[in-house]
Structure 1
Amino acid sequence: MTTRTVNYSANALKTAPAIRKKLWLAAIKPPMYSVAIMPIMVGTAIAIAETRTLQAGIFAIFVFAAILILAWENLANDVFDSETGVDVNKAHSLVNLTANKSLIFWLGNLCLATGLFGIGAIAAIQRDLTVVGIILVCCVLGYIYQGPPFRLSFQGWGEILCFFAFGPLAFAAAYYSQTQAWSGTNLAASTIVGVSTSLILFCSHFHQEADDAAVGKRSPIVRLGTKRAAQLLPWLCGSIFALTALCVWLGVFPVTTLLVFASLPIALKLCKHVGTNHNKPEKVSNCKFIAVALHFWSGIFLGLGFVLPQLLGFGAVLPT
């Protein structure tokens, strides 16, 4: 299919630099990169809590590599979306902004190669290819999400792929890079951050239900309708807090991880906003940024909850 671009942007934006700047910021998506950072941060926090050590160099390389790999996924998705027509009304698509699909495609590949080089450096330092293998699986999931011939996001599988890539797999890689071992506590925590990550993707579809349906994209919002999806949202948000409380009650998490409840007001704001505006694209379009805030702060408080006992001198609190 021939790439279609947003016609109004080419002329209007020449005389509106402020609008163009906003569209570029929306296209680059700076807040979204917390999605790459949070699994590494929380997984590393659990490793610190269990081993009382931090390999700061490994952590820094991993964060840098993860940001680049996520940049590849975002750039590649813009390219693949341009081929399906789903982004025809998306002014902040990088392909639409640049009118140069090839440039975005190869820039994305450069980000991927550089990110994988960083992961390879970790493997070389540790003389262990395990982390490389896990991250390659994450990359495969990232590709089949929107890449041809798979395009599983069109079948409504995007949120599930997102859960595994940024939940269990990313956490396993982050923890293993610090300890070269595995952790049940880390796996439990990964489900919480995995859910909050998938929520971002879930919320990003409310305002584009019509565009998705027009090109045959069966996202959860298209399948459920915006009203039923909005009714499901409190249950999804609530699972973040319910799972944390359950893990504390079972003794898997330290009680300090209940700090995650400090992000509850953001969850309530998200549910109220979507519940009121689910069928108003111009008003609900910002809900994904509220979901990003929920993901960020719930992850920060969860990670802090794991290291806080040591910071306060409580000693070891987690089984290894």
Structure 2
Amino acid sequence: MSSVQNQNVKTSLNEREGFQVWWRLLRPHTLTAAFVPVFVGTMLAAMEQSINFWLFAAMLLASILIQAATNMFNEYYDYKRGLDNENSVGIGGTIVRDGIRPNTVMALAISFFIIAGILGIYICAASSWWIAVIGLVSMLFGYLYTGGPLPIAYTPFGEITAGFFMGTIIIGISYYIQTEAISSEVIIVSVPVAIFVGSILLANNIRDRVGDAENGRNTLAILFGHKGAILFLTSLFAIAFIWTGVLVFLGILPLWSLITFFSVIKARKAIQGFIGKQQPLEMMPAMVATAQTNTIYGLLLGLSLLFHLYLPLG
């Protein structure tokens, strides 16, 4: 691609130079998928006892670092396998458009993992060393998402893997390190969050469906086709909101948790943004709206637990 064409792509994506290059490398729209589960798990713990702020902060930073490192591994290996090029939409683009050396991206990813590991030592010392085992497995799957001989991202299991580890597992750990216990209710409450986290990956794969198919991927979006994948995304959103409503009805979640339904607005925008669109650039707003659905839902869910703690409705 010529430098003029490259600049046109950067302009279309509103990509800027300087610090913005490194910020894009982190793929910030995905980082809320790391923040939300930690926040929700900690607020669930706060309903039962006072929380340790430093444990919360360490868990939050470690989770964000692992997510950012996973994004960097994604960029590195997609570049190495020839999946990303200057025309690719939605990636960080630091290698193919900004000229950052691939080895630099890999070194940063490993550094983030090391820092997360150090934070993990503190978390384990303050809670349980079993957390180290779970944390190492989570980091391994973060690497294997695009690394290794058979990347998870190339299979139909990317969404369920991301949802399980970035949703249920992180919520469970965040709750456990505060209470030193776990319950079936915590796992049940984690399900909608896991669904929304997985939906971010599904939305990404809907946008990249054609290019991914050409490069040997076999994601759910490819298996379902464009219309089928949109229908599946709609179904996931519906399940998550219905699940939440049932939990409120059963008293597992407080009445305050009904405020999470405000995120339906973004979910609807995400679905509408995919319908009738074929070009990746056209689907970028839908991808963003999907990530925002997770963010808004998770923040409102965590806040609803906090509201219930200080302003119970009954």
With the length of structure 1 as denominator, give the TM-score of the two structures: 0.88
- Which of 74, 79, 83 aligns to 2:80? It is 83
Q: Contact between 2:160 and 2:198, CA under 8 Å: does it hold in 1?
A: yes
What is the total number of aligned residue pairs between the two structures?
A: 305
Task: Show the counterpart of 1:293.
Answer: 292
Task: Show the counterpart of 1:305.
Answer: 304
Task: Show the counterpart of 1:281.
Answer: 280
5 Å matches for 1:158-307? 158-277=158-277, 279-307=278-306
1:99, 1:249 → 2: CA distance? 51
1:81, 1:283 → 2: CA distance? 22
1:99, 1:29 → 2: CA distance? 15
- Counterpart code for 1:197: V
1:305, 1:32 → 2: CA distance? 23
Task: Show the counterpart of 1:47.
Answer: 45
Q: Contact between 1:163 and 1:195, CA under 8 Å: does it hold in 2?
A: yes
Cα deviation per residue 1:235-281 (whole Å; 9 max; x = unaligned)?
Answer: 1111111010111222222222111111111111111111232x232
Task: Show the counterpart of 2:150.
Answer: 150
- Counterpart code for 2:310: L
Q: Contact between 1:72 and 1:111, CA under 8 Å: does it hold in 2?
A: yes
With the length of structure 2 as denominator, give the TM-score of the two structures: 0.90
**Change over 3 Å in CA distance of 1:101–1:172 after alignment to 2:** same
**Change over 3 Å in CA distance of 1:103–1:242 after alignment to 2:** same
Q: How far has the Cα of 1:181 moved from its partner? A: 0.6
1:59, 1:73 → 2: CA distance? 21
Runs of at least 5 residues in structure 2 that lack an aligned partner in the other structure:
none
**Change over 3 Å in CA distance of 1:147–1:7 after alignment to 2:** farther
Task: Show the counterpart of 1:115.
Answer: 116
- Counterpart code for 1:164: F
Cα deviation per residue 1:150-196 (whole Å; 9 max; x = unaligned)?
Answer: 21221221101101111221111111111111022211121110000
Q: Contact between 1:196 and 1:295, CA under 8 Å: does it hold in 2?
A: yes
Q: Name the SS for the 1:149 alignment partner.
A: coil
2:2, 2:200 → 1: CA distance? 28
Q: How far has the Cα of 1:148 moved from its partner? A: 1.4
2:26, 2:4 → 1: CA distance? 17
Q: How far has the Cα of 1:63 moved from its partner? A: 0.9
Cα deviation per residue 1:96-116 (whole Å; 9 max; x = unaligned)?
Answer: 223411111111100000011
Q: Name the SS for the 1:205 alignment partner.
A: helix
Q: Name the SS for the 2:95 alignment partner.
A: helix
Fraction of identical pairs, as percent: 24
Q: Name the SS for the 2:252 alignment partner.
A: coil
Task: Show the counterpart of 1:33.
Answer: 31
2:146, 2:174 → 1: CA distance? 25
- Counterpart code for 1:303: G
CA RMSD of aligned residues (A): 2.2
Q: Name the SS for the 2:253 alignment partner.
A: coil
Task: Show the counterpart of 2:138.
Answer: 138
